[in-house]
Each structure stands twice: as structure tokens, then as C-alpha cells.
Structure 1
């Protein structure tokens, strides 16, 4: 995608959604970190359902350690891989207390030392909690970047690095949220809803998906 088209691409997403936010519920950087760690291979809706009561009771690493692994499991048992996630959340909480005074660190290297925290989780926390211009590439963003031609790459890291290089100001802070929401609700995996996409004329994907009525008409003919 050409530079001018990239600017227009983001400008349209920004106009359509001026203040994008994560759909995970959280109350502070720690609960955000926990929510993101729990969201791997799970939906945000499912995580929010599991953490609604949890975060009323637990909002610090100290409280999480006091709750314990079994207590945490009772809250998150509806989430996929909940046994492993519970173990990691307790372990990362212990490490936050031991190494960081109970505070969530603001840099990627430190965040990635925490159990169960990879580069994507670290990028989400840095961006959402601390306002860093990071690009957390999940399956939605990976798909959108490759499908549209915005930042194609064979690996998640390749897409992230291309996004970092290609995304200009003033769009860098919210870029990851615009892209994930676009992938989740418009540029869907099985059938992208091109007929209602605000950037369809800038997108490399072909053929564009017609509106449902048009698809039905063509099938009937």
C-alpha cells in the first residue's frame, strides 16, 4: 500500500471510530495485564464474563496471590486453558511482588520476563495502560494487514515490524485498536464484509464480497 493510501486508510478508520478502546474490562494496569493474559485463545466477551466478579475482589498482585491458584480457577473455569492460565497468573503476580514492588513494569523486556506474558501481551499492556506506540499483532490484525496490503508479512513479528515502520502520526497510538476492531467486525476471517468497509477502495483484497442481497441475486441467476 502506498504511503498516501496508508494515511487515507487510517484517516477513514479514525473518522469511523475516533476513540477506539480495548473491549477487555479492567480497572488498572494489573487487571489489564491479567485480562490480556487470560484472553489468549479466548474471546474478550468470555474473559469479561469470567473476570467481572474476580476484579471486584482482586485488583493487585498481592490480592491475587492471597486468592490462590484454586480460588482463581473457580473464577476462570469457563475460559479455555484455565488451568495453565491460573498457574501463570499466580506466578506472574508473585514475580511482580518480588521483582517490581507489585507494580506492572512499563517496558517490553521486563513484561516478557513474567510467566505467560509474550510479546503480544506486552505490547497490549504498554499501549493500553501506558500509552506506548506499540503494535500488538493478533490473528485479526495479521489477517487485515495481509489481506489489505497494509503491512503484509509471513510471521506475526514481520507484520508488527512493517506496521511500526509504515504507520505515521497521528495514527500510531490507536492503530492497533482500529485494526483489531476492523478485523473483528468487518474484515472477518471467513467472509469479509467488503460492502460496508470504509477502506474497500484502498484494499488489495479481490474479489470484494458483495452485499448479501447481491449475493443472493447472483446465486438465483
Structure 2
């Protein structure tokens, strides 16, 4: 895929959705961090259902620690892997207080030192909370990048680095959200909805359902 086609793809995404953002509900970098940790192997919808009750009670590291592991588990028990996530969240809260003054750090290196936070989670926080042009490659972005031909790669990191290299700078900040939403609602895993896809004439997928 050449640069002209890539530019047209993201021009169309921007025209259709000028201000994309995450579907996770949050009001601060801390709430976003916790929501993203909870979203691992869970849907944004299920996370939002839990955090709508959790965040009014615990929207800072200090308040989260006051809940304790039992209280936090009770609040997030509808989410998969909730026991492990509760432990990681409380350990993260301790680190935020002890090492960062209760604030969420602004570098990938510092974020990835937090329990339960990997490269993808760090990239989401950097992009969505702090406006960094990062690319958090989840299963949706990995699928869309490979299927369409925008940036093919065998690993998540390979796709991430290729996307950052080939996406024009003006689109880089929002590209993460456009690709996730496209993969979630149009370029779905089993049977992509090519007939309603706004880039189907630019996509290199050979088995289009038109």
C-alpha cells in the first residue's frame, strides 16, 4: 500500500469521525489507567458498568486503597480476572503514591513499571490522557492493519512501529481510535462488513464481502 492510499484512508476516517476517543468512561488520567487495566480480556461495556459504581467511591489512589482488596473485588467481580486485577490495581496505587506523588506518570517507561500495565496499556494512557501520538495495538488494530494492508506485521510490536512510521503525522494521534472503532464495528473478525465500509475501495483484503 502506498502513502497516497494511506492518506486517503485516514482522511476518510477523519471526515466520518473528526474527534474519536475511547469508549471507556473516565474523568482523570487515574480513572483512565484503572479502566484500561480492567479492560484486559474484557469489553469496554462491562468495564464501564463496573466503574460507574466504583469511581464515585474511589477515584484516587488513596481512596482505592481505602476500599481494600475485598471491597475492590466486590466492585469489579463482574469483570474477568477480577481477583488478579484487584491485586494489581492496589499495588499500582501504592506505587503511584510512593513514587509519583499520587499522579499517573507521563512516560512509557514509568507506566510499564506499574503492576498490570504493559506496553498497550501505557500507550492508551499516553495517547488518550496526555495527547501523545502513540499506537496501542490491540486485537482490533492488529487485524485491521494486516487485513487492509495499511501495515502488515507478524507481531503486535511490528505492527505498532510500522503504523507509527507510515501514518501521516496529522492523523497519528487519532489513528489509534479510528482503527479500534473500525475493527470493533465494521472490520470485524469473522465476517467483515465490507458493504458498509468507507474504505472498501482502498483496502487490500482479497475476500471482501461486498
TM class, shorter-length: over 0.9
CA RMSD, Structure 1 to Structure 2 (Å): 0.5
The alignment status of 1:2 with 2:2, answered yes or no, reads yes
- Gaps in structure 1 of 5+ consecutive residues: 211-221
Q: Which has the larger radius of gyration?
A: 1
Match of 2:163 in 1: 163
Q: CA deviation at 1:20?
A: 0.4
Match of 2:186 in 1: 186
Match of 2:209 in 1: 209
The alignment status of 1:66 with 2:66, answered yes or no, reads yes
Match of 1:135 in 2: 135
In 2, the alpha carbon distance for the partners of 1:173 and 1:164 equals 10
Q: CA deviation at 1:69?
A: 1.0
TM value normalised by structure 2: 0.99
Q: What secondary structure does 1:173 align onto?
A: helix
The alignment status of 1:114 with 2:114, answered yes or no, reads yes
Q: What secondary structure does 1:57 align onto?
A: coil
In 2, the alpha carbon distance for the partners of 1:26 and 1:141 equals 22
The alignment status of 1:151 with 2:151, answered yes or no, reads yes
TM value normalised by structure 1: 0.94
- Gaps in structure 2 of 5+ consecutive residues: none
In 2, the alpha carbon distance for the partners of 1:24 and 1:13 equals 20
Match of 2:20 in 1: 20
In 2, the alpha carbon distance for the partners of 1:202 and 1:20 equals 21
Query: 1:136-194 deviations in whole A, cap 9, x for unaligned?
Result: 00000000000000011000000000001011121011000000000000000000000
Which 4+ residue blocks in structure 1 deviate beyond 4 angstroms?
Answer: none
